[in-house]
Amino acid sequence: MTRNRNSFIIIVVVAVVVSACCLPLAIRGGRYYYVLHKFLKVPGVRERIAVQPTKRTLTPVAAVHPVNLGYATFDTGSTNPISIEAVASGAALLLKSGDVQMFFFLPFGPEKAVDATSASGEVAARDARKYPHMCSYLEKLKTDFVAAEMEVEEIQLAPLSKVLFMNSDDFLLYITMLGQKATFSRSLNEVQFFESPEAKGIVRIGERAKDRRVAFVCFSSLDGTRKVGLRLNLAETSSEDIAGLLDPILRSFRFTTDSVDDKEKIKSLIREAGIPQEGASQ
């Protein structure tokens, strides 16, 4: 009788210990499942996450129609005439050629590092100890935006069994990157990574799964210190292939200035390239 009672006590103790160990895991897993389930119910999220990038290594092309943006150059690969003007504040550029319209946003560089002796630096240091993987990703966003965005585009839905056993740092990074990818909803047709001798970047094509009339390109210098965004649109009536139009631009794009941090300097370089301000002729 005593032996059976001791065995029963041991079983109860083991069960209590196991329950105490598993309960936090079960609670955490349930929380992860709830967050992920709600996120994936948003329309279009699963379709966007399913788009996986292709990678291209590009070689230069022979010059056909070089275009000088002041701070960068590229070749259109076509002899078609092209108009160009500075718009908005004078640091963005609008180019038109037949059915093709290109808009270059204001170029930008990496964010300045946080001073570790400041209050914000102390918070950053604390977060880095608690969430090292998440903080590493956020730091990469500041120092090499394109490389960080490439990691986002490569992310896929992980098996639920793997998600439920993630620690808080890994799950925060996972759900953040999934959300970042879903934010780029205008990439439902195709995503490309490219690298040429002078630049690297990401091409995102399509506002819908079958749409190939709009593309968003993020160009970066190879060292990640200079970046600029491009939106290329085709007219509804155009029969042009957007990938064919982009190809010579991707192969030839190069920054011609060492820094893009000074907006006034960029505006000055654009003026020196002979590019008129929007409405100047009027």
Summarize the confidence of residues 94-110 as an average pLDDT.
94
- Chain segment 236-277, per-residue pLDDT in tens: 888 888 999 999 999 999 999 999 999 999 999 999 999 999
Summarize the confidence of residues 213-222 as an average pLDDT.
95
Average pLDDT along the chain: 84
What would the two tokens of residue 132 be? 């090292």
Q: Are 72 and 228 in contact (CB under 8 A)?
A: yes
Rounded-to-integer distance, Cα 91 and Cα 265, Å: 9
- Separation in Å, CA 189 to CA 52, 105, 226: 10, 22, 27
Summarize the confidence of residues 218-246 as an average pLDDT.
93
Statement: residue 57 has pLDDT above 90: yes
- Chain segment 111-162, per-residue pLDDT in tens: 754 444 444 444 455 677 888 999 999 988 888 889 999 999 999 999 988 8
Report pLDDT for 4: 53
Rounded-to-integer distance, Cα 244 and Cα 57, Å: 16
Helix (H, G, I), strand (E, B) or coil at 204: strand
Summarize the confidence of residues 8-21 as an average pLDDT.
41
Angle of the 168-183 helix axis to the 2-40 helix axis, nearest 10: 20
Domain boundaries, the chain: 42-282
The kind and range of the H/E element at 73 are strand 72-75
Statement: residue 16 has pLDDT above 50: no
φ/ψ of 146, rounded to 5, equals -65, -45
Rounded-to-integer distance, Cα 176 and Cα 222, Å: 26
Summarize the confidence of residues 5-20 as an average pLDDT.
43
pTM of the model: 0.81
Statement: residue 35 has pLDDT above 70: yes
Band (21; pLDDT cuts 50, 70, 90): very low
Q: DSSP of 84-149, one letter per residue?
A: EEEETTTTEEEEEETTEEEEE---B-PPPPPPTTSHHHHHHHHHHHH-HHHHHHHHHHHH-HHHHH
Helix (H, G, I), strand (E, B) or coil at 177: helix
Q: How many CA atoms lie within 13 A of 189 on its CB side?
A: 16
Closest of 148, 109, 90, 83 to residue 259, by C-alpha: 109
Closest of 86, 91, 68, 105 to residue 279, by C-alpha: 86
Question: What is the dihedral sign for C-alpha 157, 159, 164, 168?
Answer: negative
